[in-house]
Amino acid sequence: MSTTTNENRTPRQAQLELIALVDDVQHAAGGAWENDDSPSPVGCQLPPSAIGVAYTAARRTPVALAEGAVAAVLHLLGERGFQAGRRDAPGYVSVLGVHPANPAFTVELRVFANTAAIVGQSACVPGEVWDELQRVSGEASAAVGL
């Protein structure tokens, strides 16, 4: 995980950092996953009152995870410097990791009886959502030859 401050990260760097973390959580949990990551930026709140940019990612699997998945993800998040904890809720188990330097940077594994999901949000970094939408749109157009 990057140790740079939020001011030194671009929105693209925050997005790539999130995707890499979610990929690693997915690998640690095991199983086959469907990728529902969003390429679109979202607005977020930077202290004390500025607007920044963040990205989201989501994965899901239609099968039950192995017994050790929760422990493996807890271990991974701790190694990466996240404050991580397990919560046993009615119908599911949740592992939530929050980055201490940027509490917007989160990842959560939710394990249900016959399915599981990983959701995450990147660090909130300085930037404009409109500028990021233009960048993403330009990359998508270039990828299809427009």
- Residue 20 sits in a domain whose CATH number is 3.30.2030.30
* pLDDT tens by residue, 9-31: 899 999 999 999 999 999 999 99
Higher pLDDT, 4 or 136: 136
Into how many domains does the chain fold?
Answer: 1
* pLDDT tens by residue, 79-126: 999 999 999 999 999 999 999 999 999 999 999 999 999 999 999 999
Query: 3 falls in which pLDDT band (50, 70, 90)?
Result: very low
pTM assigned to the model: 0.87
Domain that holds residue 108: 10-132
Quick check: is 145 in a domain?
A: no
Quick check: is 1 in a domain?
A: no
Res 5 pLDDT > 60: no
- DSSP-assigned letters across all residues of the chain: -----GGG--HHHHHHHHHHHHHHHHHHH-S--EE----S-EEEEETTTEEEEE-EEEEEESSPPPTTHHHHHHHHHHHTT-EEEEEEETTEEEEEEE-TT-TT-EEEEEEESS-EEEEEEPPPEE--HHHHHHHHHHHHHHHTT-
